Amino acid sequence: DVKVTQSSRYLVKRTGEKVFLECVQDMDHENMFWYRQDPGLGLRLIYFSYDVKMKEKGDIPEGYSVSREKKERFSLILESASTNQTSMYLCASSFSDRGTDTQYFGPGTRLTVL
Partner 1 sequence: SQQGEEDPQALSIQEGENATMNCSYKTSINNLQWYRQNSGRGLVHLILIRSNEREKHSGRLRVTLDTSKKSSSLLITASRAADTASYFCAIEIYNQGGKLIFGQGTELSVKP
Residues at the contact surface with partner 1, assessed by CB under 8 A: 4, 31, 33, 35, 40-43, 45, 48, 50, 58, 88, 90, 92, 94, 96, 98-108, 110
Residue pair 106/89 in contact (Cβ under 8 Å)? The answer is no
- 3-state DSSP call for residue 90? strand
CB of 13 to partner 1, least distance (A): 19
- Name the residue nearer to partner 1 (CB basis): 75 or 109: 109
- Name the residue nearer to partner 1 (CB basis): 38 or 79: 38
- Name the residue nearer to partner 1 (CB basis): 79 or 97: 97
Strand arrangement of the beta sheet that strand 4-6 belongs to: 4-6, 19-25, 73-78, 64-70
CB of 63 to partner 1, least distance (A): 20
CB of 16 to partner 1, least distance (A): 27
DSSP, residue by residue, 24-87: EESS--SEEEEEEEETTTEEEEEEEESSTT--EE-S--TTEEEEEEETTEEEEEESS--GGG-E
- Name the residue nearer to partner 1 (CB basis): 16 or 52: 52
CB of 83 to partner 1, least distance (A): 21
